Structure 1
Amino acid sequence: MSLQLIRPDINIDFVGKRYFFIAISTVINILAIVLLLTKGLNYGVDFVGGSVAQIEFTARTNSDAIRKALAPLDLGEVTVQDFGKAGQSFLARFQAVKNIGSIGPRLETALDKAYGPGIAKVVRVESVGAKVGSDLRRKGFFAVIFATLFMGGYIAFQFRHVSWSFGAGTVIALVHDVLVVMCALVISQYQFDLTTLAAVLTVIGYSVHDTVIVSDRIREDSAKRRREPLASIMNRAINETLSRTILTSGTAITVLISLLAFGGPILRPSAFTLLIGFITGTYSSIYIAGPVVLFWEGGSRRTRPASSRAA
């Protein structure tokens, strides 16, 4: 007999509380849209163009002092932020330079004049043109939109014998997940670059995976209990898969918390994105995708002949 984290006969009324959680999700989604339109994401060099240099110091300093030290280089507007060890590791962003190979020595020369020889070291320098950054940003958002619609279409086709509304529920749940993740990124101001975009796409895939588990159990129970209301079948399916959901999501979330705490500044934005995405993906498969199906079906059970059951 296999070990069960939660009793298989547990009966939590998830479906009955759907209106409360839909209201909360709606408020968060509206907040996300407002923040995206007003404050915006903290785009990395990948998406806005420009140059970025990682600078390490052997003594503590601050952003204002670094900007003053780099002012004679005429790099345009320079922004400096902590990166890693507080006061000793920084990222400096400025306009893209034509000769990327010479900017490192120029930065170190300016910093040596301000701090003394050997205090500062330029670890890496990256540069992306403004046009390339704009193209990458546009293609990145198209990738998110395409992935969301494709996954929704897949779910709709896979579960067409139960109801086409599963596809609509999946798309709305994925849009919800993406908006929640974007809201968290705007508030945290973690850098949004190609690595973070890859994390957002991973969140979409994970959310679909969780939705498929619940939807597949709904399909199985739908064939066994043909006369029960869809809401009752859906609630039963969520409870039956709850143990698996908690084990799967809990394991992934534990790893991501470790990466967020100990992975360092390079991994932190993507780990944070995955952490928020996995949590909201698990939540949306229960409180967003299901209620959309119930709304679509009018809360009633749709019957179908046995010959139309999915393979």
Structure 2
Amino acid sequence: MLKIVEKTKLWFAMSLFIIIIGMGFMVTKGLNLGIDFKGGTKLDIKMNQAFVKTDVDKIIDKHAKGEYLSKTLDEGKNLEITVKSDALTADQTATMVKEIKSQYKSSELLTENTIGATVGSELKTKAITGLIIAMFCMLVYIGIRFEFKFGVAAIVALLHDILVMVGVYAIFQIPVNATFIAAILTIVGYSINDTIVVFDRIRENQKNMRKASIDEITNTSITQTMARSINTVATTLFTIIAVYVFVPSIRELSFPLIIGILVGCYSSIFIASPVWVILKKRSKKAIA
């Protein structure tokens, strides 16, 4: 039987250390807000010829003056340019594209999407609201299906996952855009599913191990579900890693999912269960 509960301080300390590092990067560097949140213009240009990205960047910088991001797509064949909100007017953007086309005759503008800062602010508000509503519904469901302490422990684990993921975005400066919302919601759903499996086994063992301590019941439950958790995570990761390697265009989504799935599995075992034990023991002390 694994001794998980006895090392609660170690698990909490490890998580706190990682979260503090992430929050430190967020305070010093901030989040790399994409145009979905900050507003701006995204251009996809098909170059149709060999080009040096730094040379194209010089043209872009002459117009946008550092208020842009650029990256190659499709193994260097295309170029994606993201200009920050209010850096260029529509006419200035058209002039910049015209200059790129004049230097690279075969290039062509595939798409041009402009999002206002107001739309980005609205998206941010809706994303936060949606996440809060989702977590509240989970708390209510788990509280009814199991008990309220299980619900609180599950929400603490989810908050842990979100803080770690925000830290990952801050450390690696991954653009925070619509894929960020998708990644967070996917991870929250995956993590709560894993947590419920562990909690369900704890509930069953409470009935079957009436003379056992809370620590022993929890350790036994985690041990019994450990193989299932590892197998589920492994098979899921194989798929996501394959997507990350072979589909570069969605690495902004697949990379955080890889981290999030690992974090979600960790929190279900080493955060949610110990938190429930702490709440359970405090409740018994209060009754006594």
Query: Same-fold call, TM > 0.5?
Result: yes
1:81 aligns with 2:81: no
Alignment partner of 2:178 out of 169, 186, 194? 194
Q: Which residue of 2 aligns with 1:20?
A: 10
Alignment partner of 1:124 out of 111, 114, 130? 111
Q: Which residue of 2 aligns with 1:36?
A: 26
Alignment partner of 1:141 out of 128, 144, 162? 128
Q: Normalising by structure 1, what TM-score?
A: 0.82
Please state whether the residue corresponding to 2:212 is helix, strand or coil. coil
1:90 aligns with 2:79: yes
Q: Which residue of 1 aligns with 2:206?
A: 222
1:62 aligns with 2:62: no
Q: Deviations over 1:33-74 (max 9, x none)?
A: 3333332221221111110112233213124x32432466x5
Change in 2 beyond 3 A, CA 1:148/1:185: same
Q: Report % sequence identity.
A: 30
Contact 1:49–1:130 at 8 Å: present in 2 too? yes
Change in 2 beyond 3 A, CA 1:269/1:279: same
Following the alignment from structure 1 to structure 2, what is the Cα–Cα distance between the partners of residues 144 and 80?
29
Give the unaligned 5+ runs of structure 2.
none
Map 1:104-119 onto structure 2 (within 5 A): 106-113=95-102, 115-118=103-106
Following the alignment from structure 2 to structure 1, what is the Cα–Cα distance between the partners of residues 134 and 72?
32
Aligned amino acid, residue 288 of structure 1: I
Please state whether the residue corresponding to 1:180 is helix, strand or coil. helix
Please state whether the residue corresponding to 2:45 is helix, strand or coil. strand
Alignment partner of 1:290 out of 270, 273, 278? 273
Following the alignment from structure 2 to structure 1, what is the Cα–Cα distance between the partners of residues 189 and 96?
42
Q: CA deviation at 1:218?
A: 0.5
1:250 aligns with 2:234: yes
Aligned amino acid, residue 25 of structure 1: S
Please state whether the residue corresponding to 1:124 is helix, strand or coil. strand
Moved more, 11-20 or 172-181: 11-20
Q: CA deviation at 1:153?
A: 3.0
Q: Normalising by structure 2, what TM-score?
A: 0.88
Please state whether the residue corresponding to 2:73 is helix, strand or coil. coil
Number of aligned positions between the proteins: 282
Please state whether the residue corresponding to 1:83 is helix, strand or coil. strand
Q: CA deviation at 1:301?
A: 7.7
Q: CA deviation at 1:90?
A: 2.7
Contact 1:181–1:277 at 8 Å: present in 2 too? yes
Q: Which residue of 2 aligns with 1:271?
A: 254
Contact 2:154–2:192 at 8 Å: present in 1 too? yes
Following the alignment from structure 1 to structure 2, what is the Cα–Cα distance between the partners of residues 116 and 23?
54
Give the unaligned 5+ runs of structure 1.
1-10, 303-311
Contact 1:165–1:296 at 8 Å: present in 2 too? yes
1:213 aligns with 2:197: yes
Contact 1:66–1:80 at 8 Å: present in 2 too? no
